[in-house]
């Protein structure tokens, strides 16, 4: 079932649509989005089971691609639109570009390759999130303490805690659909494949300290599906390239989307 996605729109001009990664929300891109909005019509999106978008037990790249298509139709986005996604959102963007190439002018993928991932690197995060007893916690600090038993990095915990909010009855809840995401983790790691490549311009931005895009991906997997692509490496950046090196990502996206 296709879901109506929550989004926020800024600026005017050629459209730039931005998709966040796993456990993220559109807020992750707000600072850069405001800057790009000086030149572009920027649409930041909450993907299904994330942020303020609807929840569903189904979470596949095919369905998320269809969700994004429905949003393109709703907003009457033109064929010169640029679609950008980070991590899981990058796989959604790749799937969309391969499914509906006629709807895009160009594609930007931030630190993710089309290959299969076993998603074991998410085990500790899932264990931490599922260890937070929402029925008993009284504060964000208690939630942080529960996460810390599984996730030692304060920055990762703060990112995850952005999803925690108080309901009207003062109890806590997650914005993301934790049950569905936990159950569908294998689907989130699935390889993106297609018999027909996306022939329009594509930019892949990778963190120099990240292993999400390998040299083999750069030489083989990415060109096989995106033959008109370039891979730019942001030195001294990890997987969260846009958070760690915002100036570099701003300039790369600004130049590519303006082509």
Active site residues: 87, 239
Nearest alpha-carbon partner for 82 in 101, 108, 64? 108
Strand partners, 82: 16, 106
E runs forming strands in the chain: 7-10, 15-19, 41-45, 82-86, 106-110, 164-166, 172-174, 202-207, 229-234
Q: Which residues contact 219 (CB under 8 A, 6 or more apart)?
A: none
Output the CA–CA distances (angstroms, integers) from residue 223 to 33, 229, 255, in the order listed.
28, 7, 21
Q: Which residues contact 129 (CB under 8 A, 6 or more apart)?
A: 23, 147, 160, 174, 178, 182
Helical H segments across 189-240, by residue range: 215-216, 222-225
Q: How many residues does the chain have?
A: 259
Phi-psi region of 253 (alpha: psi -120 to 50; beta: other; left: phi over 0): alpha
Cα-only R_g, the chain: 18
Helix (H) or strand (E) holding 249: helix 246-257
């Amino acid at each position: 079932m296709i879901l109506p996605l929550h989004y926020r729109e800024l600026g005017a001009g050629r459209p730039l649509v931005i998709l966040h990664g796993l456990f993220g929300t559109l807020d992750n891109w707000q600072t850069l989005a405001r800057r790009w909005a000086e030149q572009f019509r920027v649409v930041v999106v909450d993907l299904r089971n994330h942020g303020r978008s609807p929840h569903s037990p189904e979470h596949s790249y095919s369905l998320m691609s269809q969700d994004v298509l429905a949003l393109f139709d709703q907003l009457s986005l033109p064929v010169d639109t640029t679609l950008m996604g980070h991590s899981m959102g990058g796989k959604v963007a790749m799937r969309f570009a391969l499914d509906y190439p006629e709807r895009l002018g160009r594609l930007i993928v931030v630190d993710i390759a089309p290959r299969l991932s076993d998603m074991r690197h998410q085990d500790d995060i899932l264990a931490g999130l599922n260890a937070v007893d929402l029925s008993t916690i009284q504060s964000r600090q208690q939630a942080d303490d529960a996460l810390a038993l599984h996730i030692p990095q304060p920055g990762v915990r703060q990112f995850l805690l952005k999803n925690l909010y108080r309901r009207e009855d003062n109890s806590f809840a997650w914005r993301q659909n934790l049950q569905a995401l936990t159950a569908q983790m294998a689907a989130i790691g699935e390889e993106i494949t297609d018999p027909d490549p996306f022939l329009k311009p594509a930019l892949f931005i990778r963190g120099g300290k990240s292993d999400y895009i390998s040299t083999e991906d750069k030489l083989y997997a990415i060109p096989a599906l995106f033959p008109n692509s370039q891979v730019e490496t942001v030195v001294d950046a990890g997987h969260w390239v846009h958070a760690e090196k915002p100036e570099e990502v701003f300039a790369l996206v600004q130049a590519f989307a303006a082509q």
